[in-house]
Structure 1
Amino acid sequence: MAVHLGEAPLDAGGLDLPEIFDRFRAWAAGDPKDIGILTECVLGSGLPWDLAAQIHFQTEGRAAGNGALMRAVTAAVRFAPQGRDATMDAARRISALTHGDGAAWEGTAILHELLRHALDGEDPLGAVPSTLAAVRAEHRARWATVLAPDWHPALATENNGAVWPCLGSALWALRATADFPAALRAVVDLGGDTDTTAAVTGALAGAVYGVGAIPAEWLAPLHVPLPPAERVLWVGELTVLAEALDAAGRAAGSG
Structure 2
Amino acid sequence: MLRHVDTLRSAVYGTAVGDALGLPVQFLPRDSYPEVTEMTGSKELPCPAGTWSDDTSLTLATVDSLLTCEGVDIPDMRARFEDWLENGTYTPDGQAFDQGFTTVHALTQGHGCTNEQSNGNGSLMRILPLAFVKNLSDEQIAQVSGITHAHPLSVEACQVYVHAGQLLLDGFSLSEAIETACLASETFAGLADIGQYSRSEIRSTGYVKDSLEAAVWCLLTTNNFRDALVKAVNLGEDTDTIGAITGGLAGIAYGMDSIPESWMNALRKKDIIEHCLTSR
Equivalent residue for 1:142?
Answer: 187
Residue 42 of structure 1 and its aligned partner are, at CA, apart by 1.0
* Unaligned stretches of 5+ residues in structure 2: 1-57, 88-94
- 1:73 corresponds in structure 2 to 128
Question: Could you state the TM-score of these two structures normalised by the residue count of structure 1?
Answer: 0.76
Question: Does the 8 Å CA contact 2:174/2:220 hold for their aligned counterparts?
Answer: no
1:98-137 correspondence runs (5 A): 98-134=148-184
Aligned to 1:43: 107
Whether the aligned pair in 2 keeps the contact of 1:87 and 1:112 (CA below 8 Å) is no
CA distance in 2, matches of 1:16, 1:170: 28
One-letter amino acid of the counterpart of residue 216, structure 2: L
2: CA distance, partners of 1:144 / 1:208: 21
Whether 1:8 and 2:54 are equivalent positions in the alignment is no
What is aligned with 2:54?
Answer: none
Paired residue secondary structure (1:111): helix
Q: Which residue of 1 aligns with 2:118?
A: 63
Counterpart CA distance in 2 for 1:151 and 1:141 is: 19
Instruction: Report how far residue 238 of structure 1 moved.
Output: 5.7
Q: Distance in 2 between matches of 1:89 and 1:170?
A: 24
RMSD: 2.3
Structure 2 equivalent of residue 32 of structure 1: 96
Greater share of residues in helix: 1
Per-residue CA shift, 1:12-60, capped at 9, x if unaligned?
2321101111111121112402211110111122x3xxxx21xx435xx
1:202 equivalent in alignment to 2:247: yes
Residues of 2 paired with 1:75 and 1:224: CA distance? 23
Q: Where does residue 92 of structure 1 map in the other structure?
A: 142
Give the 3 Å change call, closer, same or farther, for CA 238–222 of structure 1 in structure 2: farther
Pick closer, same or farther for the CA change 1:99–1:13 going to 2, 3 Å.
same
- How many residues are treated as equivalent by the alignment? 215
Name the counterpart of 2:23: none
Q: How far 1:240 moved relative to its partner? A: 3.3
Q: Does the alignment pair 1:175 with 2:188?
A: no
The 3 A distance-change label for structure 1 pair 191 and 171 is: same
Pick the aligned partner of 1:22 from 42, 56, 79. Answer: 79
1:152 is displaced (CA, Å) by: 4.6
Name the CA shift for 1:16/1:104 in 2 (closer, same or farther; >3 Å): same
Deviation at 1:90?
Answer: 2.7
Q: Distance in 1 between matches of 2:160 and 2:269?
A: 26
* CA 1:239–1:219: 2 relative to 1, 3 Å: farther
TM-score of the aligned structures, taking structure 2 as reference length = 0.69
Higher RCO (Cα < 8 Å, 6 or more apart): 2
Distance 1:181 1:87 in 2: 32
Q: Which runs of 5+ in 1 are unaligned?
A: 135-139, 226-231, 245-255
Q: 1:204 to 1:21 in 2, by over 3 A?
A: same
C-alpha spacing 1:122/1:2, structure 2 compared with 1 (3 Å): same
Q: Give, in whole Å, the separation in 1 of the partners of 2:137 and 2:199.
A: 27
Alpha-carbon separation, structure 2, partners of 1:194 and 1:224: 21
Q: How does 1:224-243 map to 2 (within 5 A)?
A: 233-234=272-273, 236-237=274-275, 240=278
| Alpha-carbon distance in 2 for matches of 1:118, 1:210 | 11
